[in-house]
Amino acid sequence: MTSARPVPGPPPLRWWGHAWRVLVVWVTGLLILTVTFASSPAGSQELGSYPARVDALLVADLVVGHLAVALVLWRRRSPVTVAVLTSAALVVSSMAVPASLLAALSLASRRRWRPLLAVGTVNVGAGIFYELVVARQLGMETLSEIPSPWYAGLIAGLSVLLFALVSLIGWNIGGRRQLVESWRTQAETAHREQAARVAQARTAERARIAREMHDVMGHRLSLVAMHAGALAHRPDLTEAERVQSAEIVRDGAHQALQELREVLGVLRGEDDADAASGAVAPQPTLTDLPSLAAEVTTGGHPVDLTASPGLWDRSVTLSDRVGRHAYRVVQEALTNARKHAPGAAVEVDLSGDESTGLSLEVRNVVPRPAAQDPGAPGRGLTGMQERVTLVGGTFEAGGGPGVFVVRVWLPWETR
């Protein structure tokens, strides 16, 4: 019998689970006692005429047997103690045989071979003593022609065989419990991992929504804020200029709401019917950068957009995913430039192809380096870095005296 890792305790039983087991042990024990006593010469005598030693042995068998039956109720709480006591009861009680076997089976289900070996020794030794001493006191002549050493060996062999059979059954029950417990642990672990993956996916989705909202709304609202500030702090504006600024504020707010609806529609995954009907506009890509530069320039923040020769022709093979991220990075860089250096010119350079990837650089003058550290990371820079990382690109942001530069490389994924 090989050693194994101890299994967890057996599952709890309800009262009827204990009751039917104890009832079976009690009835079986009474049957064994009846057969044992009836097979002796004393069993053929009339009631009340038994020798004194037979009466004493019968009373001892009944009392000790009932004590052993009662002990099996605690076999789960103290398996080793109960198994040893019920096995020791076999010295004077044949009625204790079923109780000792049930206790041994319960102990074997714990899959600990050292206590089981000790209990087996007590069990076999008590059985041999009963057969060689107590049975002969009852006058049982079964196999009397066999010499005592051979008879003892036969009894020992039968006892070992019976105990080993019960132990193997209990060991198998313990192995099944161990297997079920491992399945339960694996199921719980899988459930926790699934819950963690769901939570991680929710966090990633929230971050994606926040990033999209920040990029889209930040660009529009910065334009609105700039022109609204001009209306509030420029009393020298003419009526026509005021009307023009108010129109820009109104259009910017309207476009911000429209883009908000478009982004939410994409993030919610609206069906193809809505997309086909025009309810959801397509997301911007690399080819929309000239329109973005013109829009920002019109708003009073000059943008110089340059691209390497043939880039716009090659960009038709660029995937929408990479193009969208490139657009959002430039959009956020322009928003930051407008926030930290309003009115200062911004240079945007684009280059790349399928072999070298897509490279973009955004430079702007920072006239107030002492008041604000343009290199200090904020939500905008963090969002740009997350976007670039999502597609396997590289991101750098920093500046020298009076200038701030954002450099990004993105892999050229084809459609």
**Tens digits of residue pLDDT in 341-382:** 877 889 999 998 888 899 999 998 876 544 444 444 456 787
Q: How far is CA 242 from CA 246, 247, 278, in A?
A: 6, 8, 34
Q: Three-state DSSP class for 350?
A: strand
Write the DSSP symbol of residue 415.
Answer: -
Choose one of 161, 191, 221: the last residue of a domain: 191
Residue 180, domain member (yes or no) = yes
pTM for the model: 0.44
Choose one of 165, 191, 217: the last residue of a domain: 191
Residue 289, domain member (yes or no) = yes
Task: Please report which residue ranges of 234-269 form alpha helices under DSSP H.
Answer: 239-268
Residue with the bigger pLDDT between 257 and 196: it is 196
Give pLDDT tens digits for 6-49: 555 566 667 776 678 888 888 888 888 887 776 665 554 554 44
Give pLDDT tens digits for 78-108: 888 888 998 888 888 888 888 888 888 888 8
Q: So what's the pLDDT on residue 2? A: 44
Among 148-152, 205-209, 223-227, 383-387, name the most confident range. 383-387
Average pLDDT over residues 116-127: 85
Residue with the bigger pLDDT between 257 and 406: it is 406
Give pLDDT tens digits for 215-250: 666 666 766 776 676 676 667 777 777 777 777 777
Residue with the bigger pLDDT between 3 and 354: it is 354
Tokens at 164, concatenated: 């080993």
User: Which CATH number fits the domain that encloses residue 298?
Assistant: 3.30.565.10
Residue 217, domain member (yes or no) = no
Task: DSSP for 140-188, please give it.
Answer: --TTTTS-HHHHHHHHHHHHHHHHHHHHHHHHHHHHHHHHHHHHHHHHH
Least confident of 59-63, 276-280, 411-415: 276-280
Residue 269, domain member (yes or no) = no
The total domain count for the chain is 2
Average pLDDT over residues 172-200: 85
Residue 256, domain member (yes or no) = no
Give the angle subtended at the CA of 308 by the CAs of 302 and 310, to the nearest 5°: 120
Least confident of 52-56, 136-140, 217-221: 136-140
Range of the domain at 49: 15-191
Residue 251, domain member (yes or no) = no
- How far apart (Å, rounded) are the C-alpha atoms in residues 374 and 385? 16
**Is 167 in the same domain as 313?**
no
